[in-house]
């Protein structure tokens, strides 16, 4: 840390004094949240840092959960902290486990699994294909019993619609995953009961998921659009400050509108009411609220894919390096605008830092791998 640090949001000089008030007490801020694989830091005030947490946590555990599990990013960007990348699917009222591919489609990847009801008795079976045999089911049950006795299993919590347990074998066949309802406890006595029930004579219903065109996947990336816009703006501003290490630009008054929007988190104040003409409708005017700082380009939302494609096209023209597996920000001048394209996982967002930039400016870039080495 340098001798003198200034918070980029409050513009106040920071101190390391333990008894200092939080608005001037120094605090580390990851420019991209550590939970998303961010590593580099800047220094801001403790009070500002604390005020960001609530919205960040909602997005990280909501929308970004999809990217975290598909890229195997754990709690602090570490692979080892991630429990599983399985998600919940549903067919004919029955829940089961599988994976979501990079295009957002559900696939089970040939997983065998058995669902136990709330009494831990076998209820349904899903084989590796839709023509699984009774022999396959019996063999799978023997595998389950063996691994339960050897204690080769992991217990993972899921938000199921009802109290139940799903047992699935990992793709590497080393461990079983015992998926339980959130806050449910599976201990030795429950394992013993499962073993007992699996040794009984029973007949399960088979779920034929591969014959279903539309599998109802449990939504794991719901989020508030206005909060996402704020989050993108904050990450962009943080990275800009990190690149502007001597703070020759970031503290300038022309960036105060964006700075204050991020600092105050008034998620309505950033909207301009614009009048947009509707094509093929004579004299028709639609009033629409548009964010004046951020234009989202989101892969997982159809309504934002057009913006994403446009932003990605600009990004690809300006960033010639390989960007796969990286968060990237490109900052460039466009007339009197200082703008950026932020690639966050597979989303491409457009940021306007200011519309009053008159200085000469050469494009600058930031890139960082998702995952800690």
Q: What is the mean pLDDT of residues 346-355?
A: 95
Are 257 and 349 found together in one domain? yes
Residue 148 lies in a domain: yes
At 290 the pLDDT is: 65
Question: Cα separations (Å) of 98 from 84, 115, 260, 288?
Answer: 11, 13, 43, 40
pTM: 0.62
Where does the pLDDT of residue 5 fall: very low under 50, low under 70, confident under 90, or very high at 90 and above?
very high
Are 239 and 336 found together in one domain? yes
Are 297 and 319 found together in one domain? yes
Residue 164 lies in a domain: yes
- pLDDT tens, residue by residue, 58-113: 888 777 876 765 555 544 444 443 334 567 777 777 788 877 654 555 666 567 88
Check if the beta carbon of residue 89 is closer than 8 Å to that of residue 218: yes
Spatial distance between the Cα atoms of 32 and 39, rounded to a whole number of angstroms: 7
Where among 217, 233, 261 does a domain terminate? 217
Say how many domains are in the chain: 2
Where among 166, 183, 217 does a domain terminate? 217
Are 363 and 228 found together in one domain? yes
β-bridge partners, 339: 332, 352
Check if the beta carbon of residue 101 is closer than 8 Å to that of residue 108: no
CA geometry: angle at 259 spanning 257 and 264, to 5°?
95
Residue 144 lies in a domain: yes
Spatial distance between the Cα atoms of 60 and 223, rounded to a whole number of angstroms: 10
At 289 the pLDDT is: 55
Burial state string for 124-163 with b = 16 or more CB within 10 A and e = fewer than 16: bbbbbeeebeeeebeebbeebeebbeeeebebeebebeee
- Look at residues 70, 73, 20 and name the one whose alpha carbon lies nearest to residue 46: 20
Are 365 and 237 found together in one domain? yes
- Look at residues 247, 232, 340, 254 and name the one whose alpha carbon lies nearest to residue 7: 247
- pLDDT tens, residue by residue, 98-108: 776 545 556 66
Where does the pLDDT of residue 21 fall: very low under 50, low under 70, confident under 90, or very high at 90 and above?
very high
Are 142 and 197 found together in one domain? yes
Are 231 and 170 found together in one domain? no
Check if the beta carbon of residue 345 is closer than 8 Å to that of residue 67: yes
At 276 the pLDDT is: 32
Q: Which of 21-25, 219-223, 330-334 has the lowest mean pLDDT?
A: 219-223
At 159 the pLDDT is: 76
- pLDDT tens, residue by residue, 201-259: 877 776 555 544 455 555 444 567 888 999 999 999 999 999 999 999 999 999 999 99
Q: For the chain, give the percent of residues with pLDDT over 70.
A: 74
Residue 65 lies in a domain: no
Residue 211 lies in a domain: yes
Are 211 and 228 found together in one domain? no
- pLDDT tens, residue by residue, 262-295: 998 866 544 443 333 333 333 433 344 567 899 9
Residue 50 lies in a domain: no
Are 248 and 321 found together in one domain? yes
**Residue 251 buriedness (CB in 10 A; 0-12 / 13-18 / 19+):** middle
Angle 225-243/256-264 helices, nearest 10 degrees? Answer: 130
Check if the beta carbon of residue 210 is closer than 8 Å to that of residue 129: yes
What SS3 string covers 157-201? EECCCCCCEEEEECCCCCCEEEEEECCCCCCHHHHHHHHHHHCCC
At 253 the pLDDT is: 97
Are 303 and 234 found together in one domain? yes
3-state SS class at 135: helix
Are 196 and 111 found together in one domain? yes
- Give the single-character DSSP code of 79: G
Are 197 and 271 found together in one domain? no
Q: Which of 5-9, 17-21, 29-33, 352-356 has the lowest mean pLDDT?
A: 17-21
Question: Cα separations (Å) of 103 from 28, 106, 299, 303?
Answer: 35, 9, 8, 15
Spatial distance between the Cα atoms of 168 and 162, rounded to a whole number of angstroms: 18
The domain of 195 spans 79-217
Residue 66 lies in a domain: no
Residue 5 lies in a domain: no
Q: What is the CB neighbour count within 10 angstroms for residue 283?
A: 6
β-bridge partners, 350: 295, 341
At 281 the pLDDT is: 32
Where among 192, 217, 242 does a domain terminate? 217
Structure-token match 């990280």, residue found: 60
- Look at residues 347, 131, 314, 327 and name the one whose alpha carbon lies nearest to residue 221: 347
CA geometry: angle at 353 spanning 59 and 292, to 5°?
70
For residue 362, pLDDT beyond 60: yes
| Mean pLDDT estimate for the chain | 80
At 305 the pLDDT is: 82
Q: What is the mean pLDDT of residues 322-336?
A: 93
């Amino acid at each position: 840390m340098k001798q003198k640090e200034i918070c980029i949001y409050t513009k106040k000089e920071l101190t390391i004094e333990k008894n200092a008030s939080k608005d001037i007490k120094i605090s580390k801020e990851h420019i991209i949240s550590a939970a998303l694989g961010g590593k580099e830091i800047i220094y801001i005030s403790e009070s500002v840092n604390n005020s960001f947490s609530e919205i960040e946590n909602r997005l990280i555990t909501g929308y970004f959960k999809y990217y975290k599990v598909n890229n195997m990013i754990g709690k602090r960007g570490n692979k080892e902290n991630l429990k599983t990348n399985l998600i919940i699917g549903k067919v004919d009222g029955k829940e089961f486990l599988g994976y979501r591919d990079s295009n957002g489609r559900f696939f089970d990847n040939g997983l065998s699994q058995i669902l136990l009801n709330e009494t831990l008795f076998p209820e349904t079976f899903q084989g590796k294909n839709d023509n699984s045999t009774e022999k396959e089911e019996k063999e799978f049950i023997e595998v389950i019993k063996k691994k339960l006795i050897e204690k080769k299993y992991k217990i993972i919590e899921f938000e199921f619609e009802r109290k139940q347990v799903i047992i699935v074998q990992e793709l590497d066949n080393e461990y079983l995953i015992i998926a339980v309802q959130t806050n449910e406890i599976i201990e030795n006595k429950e394992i013993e009961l499962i073993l007992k029930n699996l040794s009984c004579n029973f007949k399960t219903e088979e779920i034929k998921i591969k014959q279903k065109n539309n599998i109802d996947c449990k939504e794991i990336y719901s989020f508030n659009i206005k909060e996402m816009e704020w989050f993108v703006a904050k990450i962009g501003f943080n990275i800009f400050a990190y690149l502007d290490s001597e703070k020759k630009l970031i503290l300038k008054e022309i960036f105060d509108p964006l700075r204050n929007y991020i600092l105050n988190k008034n998620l309505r104040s950033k909207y301009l009411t614009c009048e947009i003409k509707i094509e093929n409708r004579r004299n028709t005017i639609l009033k629409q609220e548009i964010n004046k700082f951020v234009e989202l380009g989101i892969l997982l939302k159809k309504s934002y894919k057009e913006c994403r494609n446009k932003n990605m096209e600009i990004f690809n023209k300006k960033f010639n390096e390989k960007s796969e597996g990286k968060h990237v920000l490109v900052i460039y001048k466009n007339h009197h605008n200082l703008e950026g394209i932020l690639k966050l996982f597979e989303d491409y967002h457009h940021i306007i830092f200011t519309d009053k930039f008159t200085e000469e400016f050469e494009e600058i870039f930031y890139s960082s791998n998702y995952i800690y080495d």
